[in-house]
Structure 1
Amino acid sequence: MTTLKFALDEALAVADHAMFAPNGSHIPTSDQAESGQTVYASLWWVKDNGTYLMSNAPYAKGKGPDNAFAKGYGPGTDARGILGGDDRVVAVFALHDPHTRQCLHSQLIRARRDGHTALFLEMDGDTVAMSTGR
């Protein structure tokens, strides 16, 4: 099992960007676009130049994303050892699902309020679990 640690404040800032974007503006992953899946505000876990969480909402012209990088896997680092060689969206975490009424965004806000400072992604084979802590 591999565990990645992200600063909760950084992850929440990325989540806020996605949540406060206008409905219908969220960008689908290539898999979502191909399947015609409805796209909601989400955090994308990306393996590219390091590994990070990013918003699936568009950014203002000339403004790049403020991504939340995993500790030890910032820009210029190589995450192939834990995520393989291909640059890709590793996982999509819906911030609010109107069908299930689950709201990851609210859970992250509550975690910060309760004193949590970190967001953890735990990978075990093809399974990814998210949790928060100190």
Structure 2
Amino acid sequence: MIRLRFPLRDVLILAEHAIAAPDHRPTYINTVDGTTPGPALWFVGDEGLYLMSNGRPGQPHPAGGDRLYVVYADGYHTSMSKHAIADKIGGDDFVEALPLLVPTPGGTTLHAQLTEAAADGGDLFVIDVGATAMDIFIADSRGRIR
């Protein structure tokens, strides 16, 4: 497994956009299943490893231009960095939806976990990812799980 770290404050910006958006882009699975997507963070592996909002219209990049706002995992900003760990996470490009408002088995939503952790001093959104599984959690800058 590989541990990916994302700045929590930037992840919250993505989450707020997805929740406020009037419509949401479907993943391939939504299209095949005929399901309607709700607000989600997309965990994407293609030109690097990053998170983005699935909200439509897309979230513009703060620097302007035609790019959408994405938050890269620390150290994984390029397709070369993604392909360098392909043996651990799989070689294909992917999009994995992380629903923001669907209750988790613990009864809270991902959005609630993000906002509560940020208010409590959390700084990192962390994804441990392997070829067939992933875990997500919040941590502080020292790596302590919240």
TM-score w.r.t. length of structure 1: 0.85
Residue 53 (structure 1) aligns with? 51
| Alpha-carbon separation, structure 2, partners of 1:93 and 1:103 | 10
| Alpha-carbon separation, structure 2, partners of 1:43 and 1:34 | 19
Q: Superposition pairs for residues 1-134 of structure 1, below 5 Å?
A: 1-22=1-22, 25-58=23-56, 59=58, 64-75=67-78, 77-80=80-83, 81-82=85-86, 83-89=89-95, 91-97=96-102, 102-134=108-140
Q: Which moved more, 1:55-64 or 1:12-21?
A: 55-64
Q: Which moved more, 1:61-70 or 1:29-38?
A: 61-70
| 1:75 Cα offset (Å) | 4.2
* Greater RCO, 1 or 2 (C-alpha within 8 Å, sep 6+): 1
Residues 104 and 110, structure 2, Cα contact 8 Å, conserved in 1:
no
TM-score w.r.t. length of structure 2: 0.79
Which consecutive residues of structure 1, in runs of 5 or more, have no partner in the other structure? none
RMSD (CA atoms)? 2.3
Distance 1:99 1:116, change over 3 A: closer
Which consecutive residues of structure 2, in runs of 5 or more, have no partner in the other structure? 141-146
* Equivalent pairs, count: 131
